[in-house]
Amino acid sequence: MEAFELLPDEINHLVSEFYSTAVAGDLNVGLTQYSFWLLVAAVVLCVLLFAFVKKQTLVPHGLFVNGVEYVVEFVQNDVAKGVVGTSWRRHFPFLATVFFFILVNNFIGLIPGMKPGTGAIGCTAALALCSFVYFIYFGIKKHGVVGYITSLAPGGMILPMRVFVWVIEVFSLLLRPITLAIRLFCNMFAGHIVMGSFAIMASLFAEPLLNQVNALNAAGALPSLAWIAILIIIYLVEFIVAFVQAYVFTVLTAVYIQIAESESH
Amino acid sequence: MGVIGYGLGVIGAGLAIGLAAFGATSSMARQPEVQGRAFTVFILASAFAEALGLIGFVVTLIS
């Protein structure tokens, strides 16, 4: 099977395609392919939502307006009201912004030839830092600086134990943005690598048939039908993953806001 | 060697997703009216577990 011998080189080439390269300027000042598609996603999001606001009427008409309203109400009911609780109205704009931004970026990346803006660790780290600063800000606003720092550890236990729990809680607090960033980045990156691997397998197995048509090569090309079927299934799963990752990021941000604002936990 | 390590690591993520599916299906069988809520929680839990497996995948590729 010479197809399997060629595979490692092709996979290495595929992985190297995912490193950030500058399309304008250089890597310090300029656009990488990820930030280019990030800007495209931002423009698409602006156009979508401005068109939505312009078309909005008291009674919604049409697929587009109803569709956007359905997603907005999903964020409002499931994430903001369901997780944050009574103060959901103040946090709903931030949560909806994060949700729509990640959702549009993930879906942009699923169109062949385009890259997801969230497929670069820098972008997801910036998003995670935003939600980190956001929930710490609202925790401090609610409890005051000293109040927030002491509210990290639950009350009602002896002092040495409380200090010990406080240290653990601070550690888990600092881990939150890191896990948020890595979860989103790994899902986007790994999903595209897996899809690319199966596309490479399909083309490697079919290559002898394209060069020379005979019975042996046709039999050798049969597995590529299976690879293409798996590729299509993984592509459909990636649609679910794109939605679920936007949802997970938003829900976790809402949970952290709720924890930061709760009286004593 | 890295691929073998990834195979070992993904056992944990597979067990976690299996446990989440087990809990979701048995709770749905006991109380069919919580189906929607249980499914959301199941998707969330398996997303967390899946992320651990994917971290292993990415680390394998990068190292």
Q: Does A190 contact B at CB distance below 8 Å?
A: yes
Given this model, what pLDDT does residue A59 score? 79
Give the residue-averaged pLDDT of B19-34. Answer: 93
Given this model, what pLDDT does residue A13 score? 83
Given this model, what pLDDT does residue B55 score? 84
* CA A217 – CA A200 distance, rounded (Å): 17
In the predicted model, is pLDDT for residue A125 greater than 90? Answer: yes
In the predicted model, is pLDDT for residue A188 greater than 80? Answer: yes
Given this model, what pLDDT does residue B21 score? 93
- Mean pLDDT lowest among A75-79, A220-224, A232-236: A220-224
In the predicted model, is pLDDT for residue A92 greater than 60? Answer: yes
Q: Does B48 contact A at CB distance below 8 Å?
A: yes
Identify which has the larger pLDDT, A134 or A201: A134
Residues of chain B contacting residue A244, judged by C-beta atoms under 8 Å apart: 43, 47
Tokens encoding A106: 């993930």
pLDDT band at B56 (very low <50, low <70, confident <90, very high): confident
In the predicted model, is pLDDT for residue A31 greater than 70? Answer: yes
Using CB atoms, which residue from B43, B51, B61 is nearest to A15?
Answer: B61
Given this model, what pLDDT does residue B25 score? 93
Which letter, b or e, does each residue of A115-142 get, where b requires 16 or more Cβ atoms within 10 Å of its Cβ?
bbbbbbbebbbebbebbbebbeebbeee
| Residue pair A238/A191 in contact by the 8 Å Cβ criterion | yes
Q: Does B55 contact A at CB distance below 8 Å?
A: yes
The closest of A10, A15, A262 to A139, measured between CA atoms, is A262
Q: Does B39 contact A at CB distance below 8 Å?
A: no
Q: Does A187 contact B at CB distance below 8 Å?
A: yes
Given this model, what pLDDT does residue A27 score? 73
Q: Could you give the C-alpha distances from A165 to A144, A160, A162, A263, in angstroms and in order?
A: 20, 9, 5, 17
Total length of chain B:
63
In the predicted model, is pLDDT for residue A134 greater than 60? Answer: yes
In this complex, do B55 and A186 lie within 8 Å of one another by their Cβ atoms? yes
In this complex, do A245 and B47 lie within 8 Å of one another by their Cβ atoms? yes
In the predicted model, is pLDDT for residue A146 greater than 80? Answer: yes
Given this model, what pLDDT does residue A85 score? 81
In the predicted model, is pLDDT for residue A265 greater than 60? Answer: no
Tokens encoding A245: 């990752």
Using CB atoms, which residue from A189, A193, A248 is nearest to B44?
Answer: A248
| Residue pair B13/B50 in contact by the 8 Å Cβ criterion | yes
Identify which has the larger pLDDT, A198 or A23: A198
Q: Average model confidence (pLDDT) for chain A?
A: 86
Phi, psi of A25 (to 5 degrees): 75, -155
Q: What is the DSSP letter of A222?
A: T
Q: Is A25 helix (H, G, I), strand (E, B) or coil?
A: strand
Using CB atoms, which residue from A183, A193, A247 is nearest to B51?
Answer: A183
What is the C-alpha R_g of chain A?
24
Phi, psi of A23 (to 5 degrees): -100, -20
Residues of chain A contacting residue B54, judged by C-beta atoms under 8 Å apart: 186-187, 190
Question: Model pTM?
Answer: 0.86
* CA B25 – CA B21 distance, rounded (Å): 6
Q: What is the DSSP string of B31-61?
A: -GGGHHHHHHHHHHHHHHHHHHHHHHHHHHH
* CA A76 – CA A70 distance, rounded (Å): 10
Residues of chain A contacting residue B55, judged by C-beta atoms under 8 Å apart: 182, 186
Q: Does B61 contact A at CB distance below 8 Å?
A: yes
In this complex, do A244 and B43 lie within 8 Å of one another by their Cβ atoms? yes
Given this model, what pLDDT does residue A100 score? 93
Given this model, what pLDDT does residue A1 score? 58
Q: A33-83, pLDDT tens digit by residue? A: 888 899 999 999 999 999 888 887 777 778 888 888 899 998 998 888 888
| ipTM metric | 0.77
Closest B-chain CA to A242: B47
Residue from A180, A186, A241 whose CB has the most chain B CBs within 10 Å, to mutate: A186
- Mean pLDDT lowest among A125-129, A155-159, A251-255, B11-15: A155-159
Domains of chain B plus CATH, in order, are 2-62 (1.20.20.10)
Using CB atoms, which residue from A78, A186, A193 is nearest to B51?
Answer: A186
Identify which has the larger pLDDT, B63 or A222: A222
In this complex, do A244 and B54 lie within 8 Å of one another by their Cβ atoms? no
* CA A202 – CA A231 distance, rounded (Å): 9
* CA A259 – CA A253 distance, rounded (Å): 10
| Residue pair A186/B58 in contact by the 8 Å Cβ criterion | yes
Given this model, what pLDDT does residue A264 score? 60
- Mean pLDDT lowest among A34-48, A187-201, A212-226, B41-55: A212-226
* CA B47 – CA A241 distance, rounded (Å): 8
Q: What is the DSSP string of A60-92?
A: --HHHHHHHHHHHHHIIIIIIIIII-TTHHHHH
Q: Does B47 contact A at CB distance below 8 Å?
A: yes
Residues of chain A contacting residue B40, judged by C-beta atoms under 8 Å apart: 78
Give the residue-averaged pLDDT of A208-237. Answer: 84
